[in-house]
Amino acid sequence: MERTCVMLKPDAVQRGLTGEIITRFERVGLKIIGVKMAWPTKEQMEKFYPSTKEWLTSVGEKARKSHEEKGVQDKRDPLETGKWVKSVLVEYASCGPVVVLALEGNSAIEIVRKLVGSTDPLKAQPGTIRGDFTPESIVFADANQRATRNLIHASGNKEEAKHEIKFWFKENELFDYKLGGEEILYSNNWTKRKKT
Ligand code: GDP
Ligand code: MG
């Protein structure tokens, strides 16, 4: 079964959206195997988010796309944009308490990303967490020289998930139990009629 990591960022916690957001993961059938509240330090967030050239450049490219789609020219070098984003992101993620979850289920990484919605809340579809709960946008955040306040972090791939779960949880802070309805979600046998 696949595992993923979610972090409700300080704006989600301070707006009282913790329960609302966790409910979405529970109702889709994902199992909470770990949960904790913490107030991260800047140093922690530096290590939590990647620093590779590849990741920084991809963040910069995404920013350029968001600007161009709004008809705003973005002449910045994507790597430099990525470095700037990382610095403001570290400030944002450490400005208050966060709630972290480790979730487990089939295709957990992709399902969570689908429920979370696009990085730019302006592009996030209604029905997604970023689409439903914030009027934020990348262009607006950039104009205000701060990170895009998009409420939530979710692992983007298997490597991120592994790193992030290990970052937040010790082995004995992750729990194995049977979720109600688990057979209905995953077993082939649950519909078999008993012989009478
Ligand atoms: P995510 O996986 O959807 O969270 O997006 P990324 O991993 O690409 O970026 C990490 C976080 O940095 C995002 O969730 C935003 O909070 C912030 N961020 C990303 N791109 C930008 C940007 O272009 N401008 C600003 N101001 N913040 C950004
Ligand atoms: Mg990401």
CB 62 within 8 A of CB 119: yes
Identify the residue whose C-alpha is closest to ligand 1 atom 23. 63
What span, in angstroms and rounded, lies between the C-alpha atoms of 121 and 124?
A: 5
Active-site residue, 163 included? no
How many domains are contained in the chain? 1
pLDDT digits (tens, 9 = 90+) for 74-97: 899 999 999 999 999 999 999 999
Instruction: Give the mean pLDDT of 119-132.
Output: 97
DSSP code at position 148: -
Q: Is 191 a member of any domain? A: no
Report residue 148 as tokens: 């895009």
- CATH at residue 44: 3.30.70.141
Q: Can you tell me whether residue 39 is helix, strand or coil? A: coil
Within a domain: 24: yes
Q: Which ligand is nearest to the CA of 160?
A: 2
The answer as to whether 192 is a domain residue is no
pLDDT tens-digit readout, 131-151: 999 999 999 999 999 999 999
Q: Report the separation in Å between the CA atom of 88 and the middle of ligand 1, taken as the mean of its atom positions.
A: 10
What is the DSSP secondary structure assignment for residue 53, as one 8-state letter?
Answer: H
Q: Is residue 111 included in any domain, yes or no?
A: yes
Q: Which of 172, 159, 153 is nearest to 45 (CA)?
A: 153
pTM of the complete model: 0.95
> Which domain does 109 fall in, by range?
2-186
Quote the ligand 1 centre to 32 CA distance (angstroms).
Answer: 25
